[in-house]
Amino acid sequence: MTEAAGRWLAGGGARLDDPVLLRHAVWAGIERGLPLQIHTGLGDPDLDLRRSDPLLLRGLIERAEPSGVPLLLLHCYPYHRQAGYLAHAYPNVYFDVGLGLHYSGAACAALVAESLEVAPFAKLLFSSDAWGPAELHFLGAELWRRAMARVLGGFVAEGEWSAAQAARVAAMVGADNARRVYGLGAP
């Protein structure tokens, strides 16, 4: 640990990519019971997309499961279906499709629909993923609202769901799940 920290600091202490320090930080957070956010799928241009498939996190997910600490997979695109499967299979996994909304724009209803395929509704969280200009907060929220209205409204129109069920799931994904997972309490 000390040796790894020395190496990192000698290199300028900028981007933290030392595996020893990363493992230490991840487990220090889990031991403190803090929800852990992990970027997966698309994001920074220098990432290796092949290695950002959340299925590769299975070992960590299984080792962290007894702690009960929530692991939140962020972004996920194009692996949002894999993330949904993990959220289905493991009680400690949650995910969102933020950022993917910005990139898919008018086509984002398909992304939202796919994220709802196998994941329990209590495991999916809304995210605007506004990493830059403030307008991205608005765009992320607006795209998500339109996509959820199209997808859940479609279920209602087809007679699969009641309007009350659609409203309940929209409230869960839009706010309630995040309040529960992050311990934010009632609004």
What is the smallest separation between the CB atom of 125 and Zn ion, expressed in angstroms? Answer: 13
Helix, strand, coil fractions of the chain, as percent rounded to 5: 60, 5, 35
Q: Which stretch binds Zn ion (CB under 5 A): 8-16, 45-53, 126-134, 153-161?
A: 126-134
Report, in Å, the least distance between residue 164 CB and Zn ion.
33
H helical segments located in the chain: 2-10, 19-31, 58-64, 80-89, 100-104, 108-115, 135-157, 163-171, 177-181
Per-residue burial over 95-110, b = 16 or more CB atoms within 10 Å of its CB, e = otherwise: bbbbbbbbebeeebbe
**Smallest separation, CB 37 to Zn ion (Å):** 9
Interactions with Zn ion, residue window 29-88 (CB under 5 A): none
- Strand, coil or helix: 62: helix
**Contact window for Zn ion (CB under 5 A) among 77-85, 122-130, 135-143, 159-167:** 122-130
Which lies closer to Zn ion via its Cβ, residue 114 or residue 129?
Answer: 129
* Binding residues for Zn ion, total number by CB under 5 A: 1
Extract the tokens encoding 88. Answer: 């289905």
Asked if 176 interacts with Zn ion (CB under 5 A), we say no
Q: What is the DSSP letter of 63?
A: H
Please, what is the minimum distance in Å from the beta carbon of residue 3 to Zn ion? Answer: 31
Choices 121-129, 133-141, 152-160, 171-179 (CB under 5 A): range interacting with Zn ion? 121-129
Is residue 129 within the footprint of Zn ion (CB under 5 A)?
yes
